[in-house]
Structure 1
Amino acid sequence: MNFSEEWKSLWPISSVFSPPLLLSGPSAKPLGPLFFIPSPETLTLLFSFPSFSPPFPFLPRLSLPRFLQTTKDTFILPSDSNSIAADFDSQSGDTRPIINNNLQMLRCPNNDVLVFFPTGENLDRVGFIVLSAKESNLEARVDKDGSVFTTQFGFYSRILKLFVNSVAAAGLGFSASTGNSVTVGLLLACTLYSVHWFSVEIRECSSNLEEPVLFHLGTKKFKSCSVVHACWSPHLAEESVVLLESGELFLFDLVSCSGAGKLKGTRIGVSWDGLDDWEKGKWLSCEFAWHPRILLVACSTAVFLVDFRFEESNVSILAKIEMFEMSHLAENDRFVAFSKAGFDGYYFMVTTEYWLLLFDIRKPLTPMLQWAHGLDNPCYIREFRLSELRSQSKDDEYAWASESGYAILVGSFWNCEFSLFCYGPSLPASEASIASKLSKFCNSLYAWELPSELSLSGRDCHCGNCLVREDFSKTALPVWIHWQQKKEIVMGFGILDKDLSASQSQLDSLGGFTLIRLMSSGKLELQKYRASWNFIKRSEEVSGEASLQFGDSLIYPLVDQKYKFPKRYKYLKLDYLYGYLNGDLAKVVVSNMQKPHVGPIERKSFIQDFCELLCEKLKSCGVNKIGSSPAMTDVFYDVSLPSSIHEIASRRIWTGLTMDLLHLAFSNYAELLEVLVDQKKVSLDFLDIPDLPQLPPFFLRKPSGRSNKWSQKVQPGNSLVGPVLPLPILLTLREAAKEKKFSVLEEDESDGSSVETELTRQCNEVMKVANEMVHPVSFSGPNDSPAVSLADDREEKWLGSQELKPFFLYNPQAFSETKGHTMDITQDKPVFKDERFATFVSKMHEKELVPNARKELVGLEMFDELCPVELKFDSPPMKFGPNELKGYKLLKRQFSKWQEDFKPYQDFCTLSKIQKRAP
């Protein structure tokens, strides 16, 4: 089927298999590398601001999205909580303190770079420094007192956005302020209810140095409505537009301004009446289009084209959010970020909660390209030429792609996530080909490879170890603190121009760029990024240098600094586990037993009652001879709830241990020594031995009721607890006892795997017997009876019981491949290859064996009719009265109806050969 380019663009890239309009794979090699990774060795500290204080709340309070996430007995995803908060609060974006780029750079004619950023106690002043090129390095130049250059006054409100515009002095309609100075640019600073305009001037000093100065041009305060966005005109340097929360637009012309004072803007006569799209959302941004009197205005539900060249403005719709509700995930989608694209005024890009969209103004309501970005509520978007990111390249092989391609950076400063989306025209074809001739009339755009991550901090690593460590660090913080408030994150960034970046470093084979960033700790850093074919490989190289640990107080200044989160680590020496995993457990046991004991030796008398008590528990399960492996029938008799083959084999090995080894494994607290943790003795906690008949190691039991440390009121009891030693160590000690000396274990290398060999042998025996015992169990008539085959080679019989105990095998769906909606345990092979853990054995209750036997059930055994397996209750016998029986029958009918209608349960009973009982 031959789709048009408009139709092809509606399949989002990175969300469908083999999406159209995507250049990827070996055929796209002429595009060159599109991954950009930081070089750790180039990280340079340009300047540090000790007094830099990001504007975060001083009191511990929960924002609306954070409150929704941490509310008791609820679980809401961060993306859902932000969406809900947006419906209740028009300024919900303010709940994320960092939503804009807080760093702007301006290039001067003398090749100096001015770096602007908010500063002051409440970030209510414009601060800046000068970066000068000295001997292939950038050096920061600050004020005479060692601090940054700042404006003379503050705005009494936090600066939310900064915008600079590079212009020539002759192109301005107003003169320089005083003296011998040159105006090199304009700066615009927005607070919540005001906008401030400055001219950026360079003055000559007596020391032959050039001093930058910000000359205040004027201020406009909006009392009735807050400022949403402002932008400079790319056509007339002295003009700017301000967008208010109400949708009003004001045009400001600095030509009419002769000095500092209040500016009066011209209200743009635009009427939103009759357009329902803007009423359902909030305003986002505005930009100039290809003409100085045509604007692009975006809200959370639509993007508009405003043409105010005539008395009455003409408004048309370029994009609507309803166009992109292509799945149930996007039912409540909205536009969250907007910006121009293409550098010619005809393209713009917009992001929703799920998609990144590229539009051509000349083709409204139809995206040129569409990606599924996979980011959490991105609020920042900007486009770069690919040649800016791949400058300094030695190889001209990819020159065409660098000059023709573009890269869109989308992400969130608050979430520390940014992705790069590259696009451009199709690959060049030969001039004589049809594709080359069609390309002259059709400007089709294609996505170049899938989106890639760009780490602005230069410290992020996404290997498994770093991700797990960072996740644990996040969960360790209190619920009222966001993890971003305790971690050093990027507040703003800028990329040096190509020529200046190339002068600071040697040419690279694939190219790269130089990034300047402002960190939340107050550090201004420089780092070089290079183009690469592989992102993951390089991430592992910087894994050790990745800064993933949260600081005690990086961004979040707590009240009086009394509440701290100190870094405390407790290290566990897992030498036994390490030895077991590497097959050297015997050597580890021997080496530890040969070490001399440090400290006083406490000797406890052997309690004779221990042997008697443990013998009684084993005999109650049918074990008559201690120290020898019990019959397989006794082990299977203990199987009640579903147990894996490994669990059954483990019970048989435990039961076959001698009494001296069992005494090492099970003891009471009076015989256990306290361990030293943080220079303090702490008593360990173990589980009590249950009263119900069970085989060791007693899988089903309750935790022991005790405190962490003994006191006068809480004394150690005499009840049995354990196991205090794992089974592999006990088996190793048993092998050593057979040889009467431990040196044999050190000399024989094969003994290192003897524990695993024993477990494998026991599992094989259990599996063999289980396969022979399990037969289809179904009753079609009164004379039918179940048949159970025993293991003939062991000559084991189900003696001691007048009724047979049938079992059934099954593989949980998590371990099996499925066919359709059913699970075939006879044909499908487990995904997890080790059948010891993937195969489960379960025993059916006695009523299944004799279906005609009817007896009155008045106790807990009534619940056996609702479950195919035998149930055991750890509670005293009880009987139910008439009211309880009436309620039970009602619940039984409802539960039976659910069993009949629930197809997975019916499939399980059919495949496991379990009888389906009628209600």
Structure 2
Amino acid sequence: MEFTDEWKSQFPVGKVFTPPLLLSGPSTRSTLGPLCFNPKPQTLTLLFSSPSLFRPIHSSPQFSLSRFLSTSSLPLSTSSSIASQFGPQHYNDTFVDSYNRLQLLHCPNTNNVIAFFSAGYNHDQLGFLLFSFKDSGFDVLTDENDEIFVTKNQFKHPICKILVNPVLEIAGFKGNSLVTIGYLLVCTVYSAHWFSVKVNKVGDKPTLSYLAFKLFKSSSIVSACWSPHLVEQSVVLLQSGTLFLFDLGSCVKTKKSNAGKRLRVLWDDYYRSSETCKWLGCDFSWHPKILIIARSDAVFLVDLRSDDGNITVLANINMLNLYAPVEKEQFLTFCKAGSDGFSFVIASDSLLVLYDVRKPLTPVLQWAHGLYKPCYIDLLRLSELRANSRDNMYEWADEFGFGIVLGSFCNCEFGLFCYGPSLPSCGGRFASEIAEICKSFYAWDIPSDLLLSDCDCCCGSCLTRKEFFKDALPTWIDWKRKKDIVLGFGLLNKDLSRLFHGSSEFGGFTLVRLMSSGKLEAQRYCASWDLVNKLELVHGDSLLRFEDEDYKFPKRYKYFRFDYLYGYLSGNLTEVLDSKMKNPYSGPREKDSFSIEFHEILCEKLRICGFSRFRTSPAISFVLSDIGLPANIHEIALRRMWAGLPMELLQLAFSSYFEIFDVLLNQKKVSLEFSVVPDLHQLPPFFLRKSTSRSSKWSQKVQRHDSLVGPVMPLPVLITLHEFRNGCPNSEEEADKFSSEAEVGLCCNEVMQVAREMAVLDSGFEFHNDHAVLLGDDRDNFWADSEKPKPFILYHLPALESSTKDDTVQNYDYEDVRYASLISKVHEYEPCRKDTVDGVALDLFDDLSPIALKFDDASTMSIMPSDSKVYNVMKKNYSRFLEGSSSYQDYCNQFKLKRQ
């Protein structure tokens, strides 16, 4: 069944199992290439270090006004009364590491780069450095005191945003004359300042010319942006929603420093609540007079070609409620995607969404980002991230792929989300044309972490230690003050990066970062197939201690042995079991596991639950007949393998609490908990069961009971033991040939082959498996040759596929077929059905679904004859709904199901 891209985009990557717009797996690697980027060891270079680059000492208070007054010496009643006079206080996190403090401007036709950042005691001045590549290293140009360059302009408020707009086309250097290579926009809370950047060919100190400024008294600045169409135009967005347009050309000509034009935009009909809505950002769209404005509840397209400014809603936060885990989901950050001006990305508390202005209110692609309060977002081409590779093996992906960097400088967590068009069905000169025509986008592999600091480590020990460190600090101490964190970063262009680091196998990029310790560093990152495991200085003490003394208290560790699990994950479970059987346990608890009396009780209970009816594996047709709810191929194969185990092994898999030893933990005995096996005539492994009612420790109030519980031993171990029991050789060389995973795969093959004969197949179902075999004992020719309708339906869920359908990639891997192929039983309508519950026939439920409904215990139902009238009315309305549902009608027609 084929679905539109709009339908597929409703399933975010990371929220559903195998989302339809995800390209992942071995079949796509040959085209996409590696999409993880790790710091390359021994490439960290210190460019400059100075106290002038330290993290700002003065920032917004971490406490609200009421919390601040409560910590003072004032009485509680007095502090509460003062705080109430000011109304609700909204904490502004603009200054708390929420923006990129480092901006890079590359000088055209040279190897020089200018780094801009905030400077000064209150970080209310603009500072900059010029560094270039010389003699296999970086040469940094500083002032006469070997310090950073600082502008004379003091803005009276800390800088909260720096924006660089490079001039793409310059006339060239003539002699030693100055040439404008870009413009700067520096924003504080209530003012905006514009500069021009000029350099000469020699590479002397850059010249910053102060062009204009604008002071806003009524509202604070939220965001600003440069126009990609007209290099001297920019827009500033205020917290009130007011927009101002600035043209530096007119400012210079009229010599009006405090200039700007207020844009007429009527937001009256689009305010939800002035207290809950917060403006986020602005940017230009595909036209110089069309803007994209983001707010915490919606994104708007403002067309200024008319006098009043037409407003169109592009995205609404209410559309994300289906997959939003928090009650009050809000948009947090916004960025334009690509140079065409049509696409943009916006991140909420839980989702990262790609939109197109030509399709309002329809997401193009979604991810579950898993980051806490992201406040920074940027988009890069994959050719920038994988520059200077040794060959052009992944040239197509580099040209058409993108990477979204999302994260927060507050908690030092960043992620990389790669996407691009679908895989080309043909190569050569047609690949680029297909990618340009194709407007649908796919997520390229799962998102990966982007470690901006090389001292970070992703192992469990370091992450746990980091969290414990945060919890151990008093509430008035910011944990970021005790750690060297990244305040800003930028990427060098590929030409300068190649001069400094050369090429690598898959390519990479050079990152320049500004650290809170006052260091400006360069780090090389390389594309890799896997996420980083260990870096330089891992497990080092990256967190600064309050004291220099060693840890005084004794360190105690507890270890748990998971040798069976480790052997299974490593593919050598047979070796582990073989070594265990050669060295039997002879401890103080050694005794006969089962008495004769308990053996009889266990056998009787297993017979009730569907065991012990087969001396060998049951016929697959019998296992299919036991299906109640729709089951996939893998579930049915497990049922058959469980039912085929001998009683001796089932005694190891199922037991009672009387036979289970307590575990000694912290010098105390802790009872293990297992699910109770239901007393129903069905085959294992009992997917739907009720949990037992018990406490964490057996007592007089909660006694041990003799219920059958389990399985207490996983199926791969039992399968391997069964192989040993059937004469598996003791030599390790021959034991390595057996694999429990291979046995499960063979059983899945057998189930699939029988199901294709006993079930009605989906019209779009295709089975790809050259290793499948047909077993004559399990094939029921009665169903294959009979004119009777087949009692099962076999269909495939396209949403669970891991790859797209094209001529070069297989429709889906067999591993996906196990879980995405569902088998359902079609019930037989019995007009004379006499099963009743309190006088109401159970056949009332037959019209609800074409799938047979099976009741475990009809006596628990409480439908009375007086309720049948209400039930019939509801059923009638539901039948009308099914008659009008084209999808349901197509489903019934496809499988020739009876409809009421």
Bin for the TM-score computed over the shorter chain: 0.5 to 0.7
Residue in 2 that maps onto 1:531:
527
1:99 aligns with 2:98: yes
1:29-428 equivalence runs, <5 A? 29=29, 30-57=31-58, 62=63, 90-94=90-94, 97-109=96-108, 110-167=110-167, 180-202=177-199, 210-258=204-252, 262-277=257-272, 279=274, 280-327=276-323, 329-428=325-424
State the Cα distance separating 1:463 from its structure 2 match. 1.5
Asked if the contact 1:469–1:548 (Cα under 8 Å) also holds between the matched residues in 2, the reply is no
1:296-327 deviation digits (Å, cap 9, x = unpaired): 10000011111112322111111111111104
1:731-769 deviation digits (Å, cap 9, x = unpaired): xxxxxxxxxxxxxxxxxxxxxx9xx999x6333359779
**Which 10-residue stretch deviates more, 277-286 or 126-135?**
277-286
Structure-1-length-normalised TM-score: 0.59
CA distance in 1, matches of 2:396, 2:331: 33
1:383-532 equivalence runs, <5 A? 383-430=379-426, 442-532=438-528
1:830 aligns with 2:656: no
Distance 1:385 1:565, change over 3 A: same
Residue in 2 that maps onto 1:763:
589
CA distance in 2, matches of 1:503, 1:522: 26
CA distance in 2, matches of 1:436, 1:49: 48
Is the partner of 1:474 in helix, strand or coil? helix
1:504-531 deviation digits (Å, cap 9, x = unpaired): 1221111000000000001000000000
- Structure 2 gaps of 5+ residues are 72-86, 563-579, 603-655, 662-670, 678-685, 693-706, 716-856, 858-900
State the Cα distance separating 1:219 from its structure 2 match. 1.4
1:650-687 deviation digits (Å, cap 9, x = unpaired): xxxxxxxxxxxxxxxxxxxxxxxxxxxxxxxxxxxxxx
Asked if the contact 1:189–1:196 (Cα under 8 Å) also holds between the matched residues in 2, the reply is yes
State the Cα distance separating 1:396 from its structure 2 match. 1.1
**Which 10-residue stretch deviates more, 50-59 or 250-259?**
50-59
Is the partner of 1:33 in helix, strand or coil? coil
Pairwise CA RMSD: 3.9
Distance 1:402 1:170, change over 3 A: closer
Distance 1:162 1:58, change over 3 A: closer
Task: Tell me which of the two structures has the higher relative contact order, counting C-alpha pairs closer than 8 angstroms and 6 or more residues apart.
Answer: 2
State the Cα distance separating 1:344 from its structure 2 match. 1.0
CA distance in 1, matches of 2:145, 2:345: 44
CA distance in 2, matches of 1:344, 1:581: 56
Distance 1:63 1:398, change over 3 A: farther
Distance 1:527 1:257, change over 3 A: same
Distance 1:327 1:133, change over 3 A: closer
CA distance in 1, matches of 2:66, 2:488: 24
Asked if the contact 1:278–1:299 (Cα under 8 Å) also holds between the matched residues in 2, the reply is no
Is the partner of 1:128 in helix, strand or coil? strand
Distance 1:510 1:223, change over 3 A: same
1:754-793 equivalence runs, <5 A? 761-765=587-591
CA distance in 2, matches of 1:250, 1:390: 38
Asked if the contact 2:404–2:416 (Cα under 8 Å) also holds between the matched residues in 1, the reply is yes
Distance 1:572 1:439, change over 3 A: closer
Is the partner of 1:257 in helix, strand or coil? helix
State the Cα distance separating 1:64 from its structure 2 match. 9.1
CA distance in 2, matches of 1:171, 1:289: 28
CA distance in 2, matches of 1:237, 1:440: 27
Letter in 1 for 2:712: P
Letter in 2 for 1:245: Q
Asked if the contact 2:15–2:323 (Cα under 8 Å) also holds between the matched residues in 1, the reply is no
CA distance in 2, matches of 1:311, 1:171: 37
Q: Matched residue pairs, number? A: 590
Is the partner of 1:522 in helix, strand or coil? strand
Asked if the contact 1:53–1:123 (Cα under 8 Å) also holds between the matched residues in 2, the reply is no
- Structure 1 gaps of 5+ residues are 71-86, 553-563, 583-752, 777-805, 834-906, 908-919
State the Cα distance separating 1:187 from its structure 2 match. 0.5
Is the partner of 2:511 in helix, strand or coil? strand
Distance 1:335 1:222, change over 3 A: same
1:508-565 deviation digits (Å, cap 9, x = unpaired): 1110000000000010000000000011xx422x16435553225xxxxxxxxxxx55
State the Cα distance separating 1:826 from its structure 2 match. 1.7
CA distance in 2, matches of 1:470, 1:161: 29
State the Cα distance separating 1:439 from its structure 2 match. 6.7
Distance 1:22 1:59, change over 3 A: closer
Distance 1:298 1:59, change over 3 A: closer
Asked if the contact 2:316–2:361 (Cα under 8 Å) also holds between the matched residues in 1, the reply is yes
Structure-2-length-normalised TM-score: 0.60
Letter in 2 for 1:254: L
CA distance in 1, matches of 2:119, 2:153: 11
Letter in 1 for 2:551: Y
CA distance in 1, matches of 2:455, 2:233: 40
State the Cα distance separating 1:153 from its structure 2 match. 2.7
Is the partner of 2:383 in helix, strand or coil? helix
CA distance in 1, matches of 2:429, 2:493: 37
CA distance in 2, matches of 1:65, 1:775: 68
State the Cα distance separating 1:14 from its structure 2 match. 1.3
Letter in 1 for 2:243: L
Distance 1:807 1:394, change over 3 A: closer
- Structure whose alpha-carbon radius of gyration is higher: 1
1:750-899 equivalence runs, <5 A? 761-765=587-591, 814-816=673-675, 819=686, 820-823=688-691, 825-830=707-712
Distance 1:253 1:34, change over 3 A: same
1:599-626 deviation digits (Å, cap 9, x = unpaired): xxxxxxxxxxxxxxxxxxxxxxxxxxxx
CA distance in 2, matches of 1:265, 1:257: 8
State the Cα distance separating 1:227 from its structure 2 match. 0.4
CA distance in 1, matches of 2:657, 2:530: 53
CA distance in 2, matches of 1:830, 1:143: 72
| Identical pairs, percent | 46
1:405-431 deviation digits (Å, cap 9, x = unpaired): 000010111111111010001111127
Asked if the contact 1:278–1:301 (Cα under 8 Å) also holds between the matched residues in 2, the reply is no
State the Cα distance separating 1:244 from its structure 2 match. 0.3
1:620-639 equivalence runs, <5 A? none
Letter in 2 for 1:257: C
CA distance in 2, matches of 1:113, 1:343: 23
Letter in 1 for 2:186: A
1:260-285 deviation digits (Å, cap 9, x = unpaired): 86321100011011123474411000
Asked if the contact 1:66–1:480 (Cα under 8 Å) also holds between the matched residues in 2, the reply is no
Asked if the contact 2:40–2:524 (Cα under 8 Å) also holds between the matched residues in 1, the reply is yes
1:614-625 equivalence runs, <5 A? none
Asked if the contact 1:307–1:314 (Cα under 8 Å) also holds between the matched residues in 2, the reply is yes
CA distance in 2, matches of 1:566, 1:832: 49
Letter in 2 for 1:467: L
CA distance in 1, matches of 2:457, 2:601: 53
